[in-house]
Amino acid sequence: MRQALTFSTLSLAFLFAVSGCERPEDPMLKILESTASQTRVDDLSRTMDFVFSERQFDQTEFNNSISQGLNRWAGYSAAQFEKTDWKEDATINEVLEPYGTRIPTVNRIEGSSFISSDGQYLQSMAWLGQIAERVEENPYLGQFELFRLMADNYEPTDEDESPVDTVFQKLNPDMEKADAEKLALAVQLFDWVTRNIQLDETPSYTEDEIEEKRLVEADTLSASGLAAPGAKRTAWQLLMFARGDYIEKAKLFMMLCHQADLPAVMFATGDDETPWAVGVLIGEEYYLFDSKMGLPIPGKNNQNIATLSDVTADPSLLSSLDLSVKESLAENTKYWVTAEDLESITGLVYWNPLGVSQRIAVLEENLVADQRLLLVQRADETMAQLPKIENVEYKPWDISLQTAEFRQVLREALPKAVTDDALAERIRWYFSEEAYVMQFPNYRTGRTRFLLGKFERPRESRTRDAIESFAMLMYEDEIIDGLKSDRSLQTMIGIRSAGQTEGEFEREIRSRQAQMRLVRRDAGLFMCQAHFDNGSMSTTANWVPKLLEEQDVERWEPGLKYLNARSLEARHQYDEAIEQLKAEGPQQHGNLIRARLLKQQIETQYASKADKSNEQ
């Protein structure tokens, strides 16, 4: 019987061979292949969980963990990199050339190897995606009171599910409904940046200042270690540190527009291509947003938003933004772009060396479900969407390269500054503006919760929401003074006393106490921003005056007063809002224009009410 079975088995094998039939696939190979595939998915999913996490720890460890996790995944996924249809963005080659091989992100555009800076890029894209989604899904009409007044004092009915969209439809009656909704979204995104990223003065240097402040000898500002206009901070840093010059704010707005599928360019004027205003393409028109003013550029009769074709046809729309003597006694009250400037316009297209890289493109293709992100931002794809306009030339913008170069020089200078007092003095700004944030995980956790829109704690959750997180950081003097004996607080803010001498421990305590005094003022502003973002304008208006009475608030005073003005405006306390808008600061010109527009609308509405009353 055994011989018969063996013979029968061999016969079957022979028959399969001679008949051309394939041998049955080994089921073990299927299991191994499935396991390998699941390992790839699990590795990527776990790594991306860190990207989306609201809890923040040591940033260097985070960056390394992300790059290591993604490189493991890339190692399993070699076949996907080989079959991808990715190709280089040919439009940026000329822009890349002057930067040579100095910047790691430029050297790694092609290939599957992830680097440490990828972690922050992914985080910033996750935050921007969440902001764009939240702003679109949860608009609060009170945040757009000025536009509501412009729309003939529109009073929404209970049936109106999207009153902000309705306002912009009323302001643009000839516009298709879908386009009006896009314009409303653009205004909402711009307003988010205006309120939540405080405007800094634009960097400028004399020849002597360049010589005094440069970190290394080089031909350009960024290569010298000096922040060029718009090139001091990455998107991650702008969102985390909540401040930037008008070009940086415009850059962030353009990135939000990209997340919302709204094509946008930075229009620059003159032969030196000075950045002016962001144009958001809706239909065939570019609607103009001026981040230096913190306002969309008003259209005819101040009843809508001006387009590029509007201002080129009628430059008086820009000269009307000059301030009168009654409004300001400042030395320069003229709007900063003239009719002559409009004779030469360049459309600068934003892109990022990470966003055009092969590894990021393949990663984006493999993200699924809740972990999907819009990561790729290519100049060639954006430029292909843009209409041809007479006398307007489009070109890729090198601002992200300037930022990367500046940050590279700064990183290289930091360890040298430990033994070089002159160098340490030149980068003192870094320690008072940024370094302390990186040493406070709880600070970054609170800020991350804010950016992710975690404004209300889920039931039975043991984690704090953004507002609670900021409240915990508003340290009283007694808490700061008692840090040396408070082991729990030391652990919470990341002080590691093990292995330190008594002198080293004392120095760290004093350093952290100084940082805590900075942190508490940051947290105060951020808490007010969170209340406003969550639609609690009254709470914001109640908190801001209290914070302005505290010490050490000077560096956030412009942002606090602007937020207060917007809160008062939303509550229909127009006179008080106008007074707050008169405060000095980098955005004063735009704030005074806003005060003018608000006053005009109030007078128009009161006159309209009086006329109706007389008719009755």
Contact 210, 277 (CB under 8 A): no
Least confident span in 29-38, 98-107, 249-258, 599-608 = 29-38
Q: Give the C-alpha separation, 73 to 79, whole Å.
A: 12
Given a contact cutoff of 8 angstroms between Cβ atoms, the answer to whether 296 and 309 are in contact is no
Cα–Cα distance for residue pair 209/207, rounded to 1 Å: 5
Q: What value does the mean pLDDT take over residues 144-172?
A: 94
Among 23-37, 58-72, 205-219, 598-612, which stretch is predicted with the lowest mean pLDDT?
23-37
Single out the residue of 365, 400, 418 nearest to residue 80, CA to CA: 365
Under the banding of pLDDT at 50, 70 and 90, the label for residue 5 is: very low
Token pair for 180: 């009006």
pLDDT at 153: 93
C-beta pairs of 584-587 under 8 Å, 24+ apart in sequence: 584/558, 585/199, 585/557, 585/558, 585/561, 586/199, 586/200, 586/201, 586/558, 587/199, 587/292, 587/293, 587/294, 587/558, 587/562
Helices (H), 534-573: 537-548, 557-570
pLDDT at 337 (0 to 100):
97
Stretch 589-604: mean pLDDT, rounded? 96
The per-residue pLDDT for range 478-520, each reduced to its tens digit, is 999 999 999 899 888 878 766 788 888 999 999 999 999 999 9
34 pLDDT tier (thresholds 50, 70, 90): very low
Cα–Cα distance list, 292 to 140, 194, 196, 316 (Å):
24, 9, 14, 19
For residues 228-245, average pLDDT = 98
Side-chain half-sphere exposure of 229, counting CA atoms within 13 A: 14
Strands ordered across the beta sheet of 274-282: 295-296, 285-290, 274-282, 264-269, 345-349, 392-396
| Structure confidence at residue 458 (pLDDT) | 80
Sorted by sequence, the CB contacts under 8 Å of residue 217 that are 6+ apart come out as 224
- Say yes or no to pLDDT of 2 above 60: no
Q: How far apart are CA 167 and CA 446, in angstroms?
A: 33
The pLDDT of 425-438, averaged and rounded, is 95
Provide the pLDDT for residue 101. Answer: 75
Phi, psi torsion values for 275, nearest 5 degrees: -55, 135
Q: Which among 590, 580, 579, 522 has a CA at the least distance from the CA of 196? A: 522
pLDDT at 367 over 60: yes
CB atoms within 10 A of CB 504: 11
Domain positions in the chain: 29-83
Q: What's the whole-number mean pLDDT along residues 336-352?
A: 96
Q: What is the pLDDT of residues 84-132, one digit of tens each?
A: 889 999 999 999 988 877 888 888 899 999 999 999 999 999 999 999 9
Q: Give the span between the Cα atoms of 141 and 147, in whole angstroms.
A: 9
Biggest CA–CA distance in the chain, Å, is 115
Residue 277 in tokens: 């205003």
- Please report the DSSP string for 341-362 in residue order: GGGSEEEEEP--TTTT-HHHHH
Looking up tokens 């298709």 gives 176
**Residues 6 or more apart in contact with residue 430 via CB below 8 angstroms:** 410, 414
Q: Which of 64-73, 121-130, 593-602, 607-616 shows the lowest per-residue confidence on average (mean pLDDT)?
A: 607-616
Percent of all residues in the chain with a pLDDT value above 70, rounded to a whole number: 91
Average pLDDT, the chain: 90
| pLDDT for the residue 13 | 39
Q: Which band of pLDDT confidence, cut at 50, 70 and 90, is reported for residue 18?
A: very low
What confidence score (pLDDT) does residue 40 get?
60
Residue type (1 letter), 217: E
DSSP class of residue 202 equals P
Residue 615: its pLDDT value, please?
57
pLDDT value for 301? 80
Range 568-573, long-range pairs (CB < 8 A, 24+ positions): 568/541, 569/145, 569/146, 569/598, 570/142, 570/143, 570/145, 570/537, 571/142, 571/537, 571/538, 571/541, 572/145, 573/541
Of the candidates 382, 288, 282, which has an alpha carbon nearest to the alpha carbon of residue 342? 288
Tell me the whole-structure pTM to 2 decimals.
0.91
The average pLDDT across 392-415 equals: 96
Choose among 544, 601, 596: nearest CA to 567.
Answer: 544
Given 3-state DSSP classes, what are the helix, strand and coil percentages for the chain, each rounded to the nearest 5? 60, 5, 35
Residue 259: pLDDT band with limits 50, 70, 90: very high
Q: In sequence order, what E strands does 371-515 have? A: 392-396
Distances in Å between the alpha carbon of 449 and those of 54, 444, 534? Answer: 6, 9, 13
What are the b/e assignments for 194-203, b being 16+ CB within 10 Å? bbbbbbbebe
Rounded Cα–Cα distance for residues 425 and 421 (Å): 6
List the structure tokens of 527. Answer: 């808490």
Bridge partners for 380 per DSSP: none
- Whether 215 and 426 have beta carbons less than 8 Å apart is answered as yes
